[in-house]
Amino acid sequence: DLGYLADGQVFVTGRKKDLIIVGGKNIHPEDLEEIANEVPGVYEGRVVAFGLFSERLGTEQIVIVVETRRPVPEEDALAMATE
């Protein structure tokens, strides 16, 4: 995604790519962001999803960054991500 950092906050202004391709499957980041916005404790609109290429796997991996009202334990975040 494209954006900038100002006063300690990240502002997303656009996308470099419209799709995340994981193992040949096309995934729309907007779909992931919509789901993440529904997670309790996540600030609505403070979600971004993008792909990050993994040399080891030879494909993109999904990355979802959210701002939450309170810290979320790693186990809970992983459980939500796999649902």
Q: When comparing pLDDT for 39 and 78, which is higher?
A: 39
Which pLDDT value is given to residue 83?
Answer: 67
- Secondary structure of residue 61 in the 3-state scheme: strand
User: What does the pLDDT look like over 13-26, one tens digit per residue?
Assistant: 888 888 999 999 99
Q: CA-CA distance, 23 to 57, in Å (whole number)?
A: 9
Q: CA-CA distance, 52 to 61, in Å (whole number)?
A: 5
Domains of the chain: 18-82 (3.30.300.30)
Written as six digits, the tokens of 57 are 């796997």
Residue 61 CA, distance from chain mean position: 10
Cα(first)–Cα(last) distance of the chain, in Å? 24
Mean pLDDT confidence for 63-79: 82
Which pLDDT value is given to residue 28?
Answer: 96
Written as six digits, the tokens of 61 are 């991996």
User: What does the pLDDT look like over 42-60, one tens digit per residue?
Assistant: 898 899 999 999 999 999 9
